[in-house]
Amino acid sequence: MTDFVVYDVFSEKPFGGNQLAVIPEASDLPEADLQRIAREFNFSETTFVYPPSDATSTARVRIFTPTMEVPFAGHPVIGTAVALAERGHGPDMVLDLGIGPLRCHAQDGAARFTTTAALEIICHPAPDLVAAALGIAPDRVQFESHAPVMASLGLAFTITQLDSRATLTALAPDVAAFRKGNAAYPSGLDFAQFAYVREGDTIHARMFAPLDNIPEDPATGSACATLGALLARIDGRDLSLTVHQGDDMGRPSVIGLETSGSAVTVSGQAVQTMRGRLTYPA
């Protein structure tokens, strides 16, 4: 039998943030069952931790959504780093991910990681199609800073600025429009939409990936990192941002972003809410 722990990530209190299942010792699990286990938890991500591939790393970590394995995601890195720190690792550690080694720091229920991956601008989806996917009128999309853009630091999201907090609250995603968008602009998370409103250094955001069995995500560290890199490029300066996500679905999350040149640091807290044991394989 294999132990698991569940964390609420990007929250200092239980029942906020984004849920994450962590399998701290996954070596005995059959490869064919990893996706099934992730689907059984049905959180936006589940991580499976393996011994490091070499002496320079702390652990090898694989990340699964309910439908696929992904090379990188923010809240799984934060939550897994906190879980490893609570098992005696760190505070400084290196996690081997699908995107390669990633340096992390975790201590006292908080973690941070820095990515130096190059910002990739994949395409500019049609604004009317993005608006339809979000369930809003096209004139609610803002263009002063940028048009809707599909971008990535390892995982692709369409990032769209909206005109007001009220518009963000009123979003009503249309799955049919997501299917059209995914057909027109294929990406790693099925036309995932990250919509935001900026108020100075404060960001309010929501993320939807219904085609990946994630109707709404309460905290999306990888999308926030991509947003930080994008805004730093647009503003032409380093930024310190605080992202509030999950408020409109009752799971408030707080994500810290710091940019320094091409590097983006994502930080947040994580609290353990459950622990248990997979009773299979028996």
Catalytic positions: 45
Q: No. of H helices and E strands in the chain?
A: 6, 17
Measured over the CA atoms of residue 245, residue 92, residue 12 and residue 65, the dihedral's sign is positive
Cβ-based neighbour number of residue 52 at 10 Å: 17
Give yes or no for a contact between 20 and 274, defined as CB atoms under 8 angstroms apart.
no
Q: What is the bridge-based pairing of β-strands 45-50 and 18-23?
A: parallel
Token pair, residue 18, equals 């984004």
Token pair, residue 164, equals 């007001």
Give yes or no for a contact between 99 and 154, defined as CB atoms under 8 angstroms apart.
yes
Q: Residue 190: left (phi > 0), alpha (psi -120 to 50), or beta?
A: left
Please state, in angstroms and rounded to a whole number, the distance separating the CA atoms of residues 94 and 10. Answer: 20
Cβ-based neighbour number of residue 220 at 10 Å: 34
Length of the chain: 282
